[in-house]
A and B are shown apart, each in its own frame.
Chain A
Amino acid sequence: QVQLQESGPGLVKPSGTLSLTCAVSGGSISSSYWWTWVRQPPGKGLEWIGEVYHIGTTNYNPSLKSRVTISVDKSRNQFSLSLTSVTAADTAVYYCARNSQTIVGVPSDWGQGTRVTVSS
């Protein structure tokens, strides 16, 4: 059973860079899966940020594309999210997930989420 665990700073200053990692256990990040980031602002719904394939191919939400990078680190069996020029609107719980291997675009296994606040 794969397990995912997000980690990173819980507080980021405005105009700074949000950097999170998702450690994968119980499975290899090099296997044929897409790996996804989703976020949820306080009291609001879910927003798809983007995804990365194990070979490094990425898809991003156009609303964030100019600021976001998702990458894979095979040596550490983890993947990462970087979001630049953050504002208060980026305050959210950030989830990492592994997509279904057979159903395109569906996060089937999720981490517990990590709360990130953008504030000075």
Chain B
Amino acid sequence: DIQMTQSPSALPASVGDRVTITCRASQSISTYLNWFQQKPGKAPKFLIFGAFNLQSGVPSRFSGSGSGTDFTLTISSLQPEDFATYYCQQSSSIPYTFGQGTKLEI
């Protein structure tokens, strides 16, 4: 299985901050990397696919980059609704695996 490791596990931040979350794969996954946002008690929401492509309706303050084994999710200016847990997921090979999550905290 491909292991996905996110850092940090928790990230204190404030409204207006620029934040970056890192995701590392245990082997190369090209750009088969996706990002999800999850708020407490809710299902995950699909944000980014193919490392850097925004899903329809996702605000442009979200961006993704990377290829191979190292990837980042950046939020350019945090809004109150962005405080949530973020997960990366590889869709290069089965089983499709998720990172352990990064919680954005006030």
A residues lining the B interface (CB < 8 Å): 38, 45-48, 59-63, 95, 97, 100, 103-113
CA distance A45 to B100 in the complex (A): 5
- Known A-B contacts A95-B43, A106-B89, A106-B91; A45 and B99 likewise in contact (beta carbons under 8 Å): yes
Question: When the two chains form the complex, which single residue of B32, B44, B55 contacts A46, counting CB atoms closer than 8 Å?
Answer: B44
Please indicate the chain A residues that have their CB under 8 angstroms from the CB of B32 in the complex: 104-105
- Complex interface: chain B residues within 8 A of A111 (CB): 43
A45 with B87: CB separation less than 8 A: yes
Cβ A104 vs Cβ B43 within 8 A: no
Q: At the interface, yes or no: B94 with Cβ under 8 Å from chain A? A: yes
CA A60 to CA B97, docked complex, whole Å? 12
Contact of B95 among A61, A104, A109 (CB under 8 A): A61
Q: Closest residue to A65 on the B side, CB-wise? A: B95
Looking across the interface, which residue of chain A has its beta carbon closest to that of B4? A45
Binding site for A on B (CB under 8 A): 1, 32, 34, 36, 42-46, 49-50, 55, 87, 89, 91, 94-101
* Closest beta carbon of chain A to B96's beta carbon, Å: 5
Tell me, in angstroms, the Cα distance from A111 to B32 when the chains sit together.
23
A-B contact pairs, 10 of them (CB 8 A): A45-B99, A46-B89, A46-B98, A46-B101, A63-B1, A103-B91, A106-B46, A106-B49, A110-B45, A113-B43
The CA-CA distance from A59 to B96 in the complex, in Å, is 10
Closest chain A residue to B94, Cβ basis = A59
Find out whether the CB atom of A48 lies under 8 angstroms from the CB atom of B98.
yes
Q: Which residue of B42, B50, B95, B100 contacts A48 across the interface (Cβ within 8 Å)?
A: B95
A110 CB to nearest B CB, Å: 4
CB pair B44 A108 closer than 8 Å:
no
* Shortest beta-carbon distance from A57 to chain B in Å: 12
- What residues of A have a CB within 8 angstroms of the CB of B55 in the complex? 108
